[in-house]
């Protein structure tokens, strides 16, 4: 199971999620609204393995993601995920989804799944359902690993 990413404020209204494998940097507000109680934010996706290998910064960015984020930093849902074309089919999208899903306490919603991406989301374990002209889905909340401490009251 992936470890949840740490949420932090970076100044100028921007936020970041940093995990052991993936970093979401930017946190700029989208021009579209999030779901109730969330902000829809856009992030650049960075691969920590590339950063640690001394890869030039512009080559460490592997994609973009738009997510709905609650004020406490819990990721409610993914609206858009785009991995750079030359980097597709290398497992980066799976790593991003695992990191994001681990940062979603109540399970991850996936909004507006494109037909071309449905197979990917199914392989990730996403329950897909169609309705009102778009296809949405959900991934279950991350399961606790043996030995994990229970969440404090009101936190899980």
Where are the domains positioned within the chain? 6-105
pLDDT in the model for residue 52: 78
Query: Percentages helix, strand, coil for the chain, rounded to the nearest 5?
Result: 20, 40, 40
pLDDT at residue 59 tops 60 = yes
151: pLDDT confidence band, cut at 50, 70 and 90?
Answer: very low
Q: Please enumerate in sequence order all residues whose Cβ is within 8 A of that of 103, keeping only pairs 6 or more positions apart, or say none.
A: 4, 5, 7, 17, 19, 73, 74, 75
pLDDT at residue 17 tops 80 = yes
pLDDT tens digits for range 83-121 = 999 999 999 999 999 999 999 988 899 998 988 898 999
pLDDT in the model for residue 57: 79
Query: What's the rounded Cα separation, in Å, for the pair 86 and 125?
Result: 25
Q: Please enumerate in sequence order all residues whose Cβ is within 8 A of that of 3, keeping only pairs 6 or more positions apart, or say none.
A: 19, 20, 102
């Amino acid at each position: 199971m992936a470890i949840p990413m740490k949420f932090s404020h970076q100044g100028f209204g921007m936020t970041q999620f940093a995990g052991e494998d993936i970093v979401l940097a930017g946190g700029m507000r989208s021009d579209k609204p999030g779901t109730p109680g969330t902000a829809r934010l856009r992030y650049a996706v960075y691969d920590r393995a590339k950063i640690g290998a001394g890869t030039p910064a512009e080559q460490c960015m592997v994609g973009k993601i738009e997510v709905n984020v609650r004020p406490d930093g819990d990721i409610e849902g993914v609206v858009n995920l785009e991995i750079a074309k030359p980097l597709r089919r290398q497992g980066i999208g799976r790593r991003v989804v695992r990191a994001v899903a681990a940062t979603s306490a109540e399970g991850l919603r996936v909004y507006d799944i494109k037909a071309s991406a449905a197979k990917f989301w199914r392989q990730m374990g996403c329950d897909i359902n169609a309705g009102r002209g778009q296809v949405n889905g959900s991934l279950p909340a991350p399961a606790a690993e043996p030995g994990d401490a229970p969440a404090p009251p009101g936190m899980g």
